[in-house]
């Protein structure tokens, strides 16, 4: 039995190569390490584009570590740690902190068994389709077309772009141009990032559905599932939601209301691998597949284990490797529109020791 000797977390800043819509110029990552009495160390991570990295770091170091040291190092600790954190809330930052520890415990479990994370979770397939994705609503049309052509040249037959412009005609022009690039057989998805209300979404989808949309992602504010129900009656375009849902219950309610055709849990935001797998299994029982949200090096591995999966997001210039976070190749490979994983023991994510820490705010 492996017993936890030490738990530590540290937040690092990863500047983006090009800012995302809304002025997002960085991703922050919190690297969590769980060391055992036998000398084995597991590595986990939490992640956030802008907000909360140092709060996650503090939750791990100040509140999770004392509750875990001296206990068996096993992902079965998830429920008791979630209960332990309840006074700080049961969602949001507490789940993000718990995710870093849970991922580290899964890494430890796989390393102790001498197998990859994929084998430890339970491999179901050798590869999964992937799609080219970008945060590109602020791109001019020429830059957007160039980006999509790059995805096609890399072998992607499925792409996703942002919509939600103030002028609907701009979205129509851009979606039409992307459809021309990928051809009539290419899979085209769009993401509104919660920018619309029901009337605006209905108008936009009426104008865009002729381009053969595979799905619309987050057309409305994520928590307002009743609004999604009203929109469902006004469009035939499938809905993909979930990056801003957190719990099994939230996903189940979305599916039961008929507004989640593709589930998109983010492994960090839901609290780690343990609840991520539970969500995937739950929605699969209800006939809904998963398309994991971001974090391609980890999402790509988990997708190989899920009962029902559509595609994995290959985010343009924003993977951990592309942002310089990793000291060596992870063993997760995106190639010609598919993702495979050969990581060796554990998840294969070795973080560079030269990353810049997240500094405290100026007084």
Q: Catalytic residue at 293?
A: yes
User: Cβ(52)–Cβ(23) under 8 Å?
Assistant: no
In the set 82, 160, 162, 214, the catalytic residue is 162
Angle at which helices 168-182 and 141-153 cross, to 10°: 30
In the set 82, 160, 293, 347, the catalytic residue is 293
Q: Catalytic residue at 17?
A: no
What count of other Cβ atoms lies within 10 Å of the Cβ of residue 154?
14
Structure tokens at 9: 């977390």
DSSP helix/strand/coil, 332: strand
What is the rounded CA–CA span in Å between residue 195 and residue 233? 19
Backbone angles phi, psi at 229, to 5 degrees: -60, -45
Helix runs in the chain, H state only: 53-58, 65-68, 78-84, 93-113, 117-121, 141-153, 168-182, 198-208, 225-232, 248-256, 273-285, 296-303
Judged by phi (left if over 0) then psi (alpha if -120 to 50, else beta), residue 345 lies in beta
Structure tokens at 186: 């290419």
The alpha carbon torsion through 170, 175, 179, 180 (nearest 10 deg) reads 10
* Residues catalogued as catalytic: 162, 293
């Amino acid at each position: 039995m492996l017993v936890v000797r030490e738990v530590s977390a540290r937040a690092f800043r990863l500047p983006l190569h090009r800012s995302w819509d809304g002025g997002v110029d960085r991703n922050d990552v919190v690297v969590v390490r769980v060391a055992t009495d036998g000398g084995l160390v597991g590595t986990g991570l939490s992640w956030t584009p802008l907000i909360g990295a140092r709060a996650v770091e503090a939750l791990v170091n100040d509140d999770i570590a004392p509750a875990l040291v001296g206990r068996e190092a096993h992902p079965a600790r998830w429920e008791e740690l979630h209960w332990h954190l309840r006074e700080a809330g049961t969602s949001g930052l507490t789940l993000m902190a718990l995710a870093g520890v849970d991922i580290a415990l899964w890494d430890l479990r796989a390393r102790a068994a001498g197998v990859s994370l994929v084998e430890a979770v339970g491999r179901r397939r050798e590869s999964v389709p992937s799609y080219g994705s970008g945060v590109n609503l602020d791109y001019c049309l020429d830059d957007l077309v160039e980006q999509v052509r790059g995805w096609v040249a890399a072998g992607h037959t499925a792409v996703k772009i942002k919509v939600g412009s103030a002028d609907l005609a701009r979205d129509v022009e851009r979606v039409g141009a992307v459809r021309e690039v990928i051809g009539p057989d290419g899979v085209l998805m769009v993401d509104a990032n919660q920018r619309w209300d029901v009337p605006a979404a209905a108008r936009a989808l009426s104008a865009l559905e002729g381009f053969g949309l595979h799905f619309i992602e987050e057309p409305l504010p994520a928590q307002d599932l009743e609004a999604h129900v009203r929109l469902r009656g006004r469009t035939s375009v499938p809905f993909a939601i979930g990056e801003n849902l957190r719990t099994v219950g939230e996903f189940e309610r979305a599916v039961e209301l008929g507004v989640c055709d593709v589930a998109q849990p983010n492994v960090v935001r839901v609290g780690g691998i343990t609840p991520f797998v539970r969500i995937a299994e739950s929605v699969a029982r209800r006939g809904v597949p998963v398309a994991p949200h971001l974090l391609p090096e980890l999402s790509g591995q988990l997708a190989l284990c899920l009962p029902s999966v559509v595609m994995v997001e290959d985010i343009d210039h924003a993977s951990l490797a592309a942002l310089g976070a990793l000291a060596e190749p992870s063993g997760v490979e995106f190639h010609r529109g598919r993702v495979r994983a050969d990581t060796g023991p554990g998840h294969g994510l070795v973080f560079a020791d030269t990353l810049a820490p997240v500094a405290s705010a100026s007084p």
